[in-house]
Amino acid sequence: MDHLPATPRDQWRRVQLGRYLIDYCGARVDHMRFDEAGRVADFGLPQGELDMIIDSGIAFRTSGCPGKFQDDISACDRPYGDSPPSDIASFPFQPNKRDIRKIRRQIGGPAIVT
């Protein structure tokens, strides 16, 4: 699929967050709201709860290989398998505060408003 354009980062972040919320936080798609283009516009959670989850950074880490110590932390051995280190799509490490600020900018306004 390397011949296809990369998924826009705002959409990628919203999908990462939505998947995490569904898999680990009991969220449901039918509680989310989508815009006219089909992108998540509201995750259906109180803003404070959503902020805590975003700030933890876990939703934006590499997924798909259950971790040794925690199911929602990946043990994948292919860091940067979906992006270059200069524009990380899935973090193979715990995002720091600067990374979280960038993630929030990438998510954009409507996705973090409830």
Span 60-84, mean pLDDT?
69
Amino acid 91: pLDDT: 87
Amino acid at 40: V
Residue 107 φ then ψ, to 5°:
-60, -45
CA distance 20 to 109: 19
Q: Which has the closest alpha carbon to 60: 7, 16, 111, 108? A: 16
Higher pLDDT, residue 112 or 73: 73
Amino acid at 5: P
101 pLDDT above the threshold of 50: yes
59 neighbors 21 (Cβ within 8 angstroms): yes
The mean predicted confidence, pLDDT, of the chain is 84
